[in-house]
Amino acid sequence: MSWTAPLVITGASSGIGRALALELAAGGATLHLQGRDAERLARVASEVAAAGGSATRHVADLTDDDAVDALIAALSAGEAGVAALVHSAGMVRLGSLEASDVTVLDDHYRLNLRAPYRLTRGLLPQLRRARGQVVFVNSGAGLRANAHWGAYAASKFGLRALADSLRQEVAGDGVRVTTVYPGRTATPMQRSVHEQEGRSYDPTAYVRPEDVARQVATLLSLQPPSTVTELTIVPG
């Protein structure tokens, strides 16, 4: 599969975002990669180039309004525009409601929900012109909340609502919106989750990020009017 119009991937320096960048690069994609860590993002951009794609790096903290505004401006400056936006950035911090300060909820909200809201809103004119796609990488926690996952799940339930609402709002413009619900996936975030849970971590027990990336790449390749509204991927 090949992609000619630019695609934006947030959280591209590791995990599912990195895996998707490399999957798309094999098809010669033109990518805009966002991440907070300049060094890791540079490594991914080099991997993308080696795989046959091209990448523009955007080092930005999505919880910083000025940084998001600058990112939107940079992505809006090119003549090619943006044809697809994949929200892969996210964070998780476990804890019971009783033991967690409200700032924990605020942190999840800012990165997992507010940032996708602001970035999508800022790029929507380009996505409409391109009759493009928006992909929200959610979580199994966006469908089901368990103990100690309240703040994270609340942000992901909200992200699901945002995607469902947006899908109806832009369907008439030819913009397609997909939510992907990966189950536990073998990423650095999953390693952190296990540390928080006090459990040993075996990455072979979980979904491979490359498998999630391959599925997302496939849905991005669908031609209008075909669309996948929701996709769930879980360990077998």
The count of structural domains within the chain is 1
What pLDDT digit, counting tens, does each position of 90-108 carry? 999 999 999 999 999 999 9
Question: If we measure between CA atoms, which residue out of 148, 140, 152, 144 comes closest to residue 199?
Answer: 148
Over residues 110-130, mean pLDDT? 97
In the residue annotation, 152 being an active-site residue is answered as: yes
- Structural domain contains residue 164: yes
For residue 63, give its domain range: 7-233
- Structural domain contains residue 149: yes
Question: How many CA atoms, within 13 angstroms, populate the side-chain half-sphere of residue 206?
Answer: 21
Q: What CATH number is attached to the domain comprising 15? A: 3.40.50.720
From 117, 152, 181, 201, active-site residue: 152
Instruction: Give residue 180's pLDDT.
Output: 98
- Structural domain contains residue 2: no
Burial group, residue 224, by CB count within 10 angstroms (0-12, 13-18, 19+): exposed
Q: Which two tokens stand for residue 236?
A: 């077998």
Judged against a pLDDT cut of 70, whether residue 126 lies above it is answered with yes
pTM above 0.85, yes or no: yes
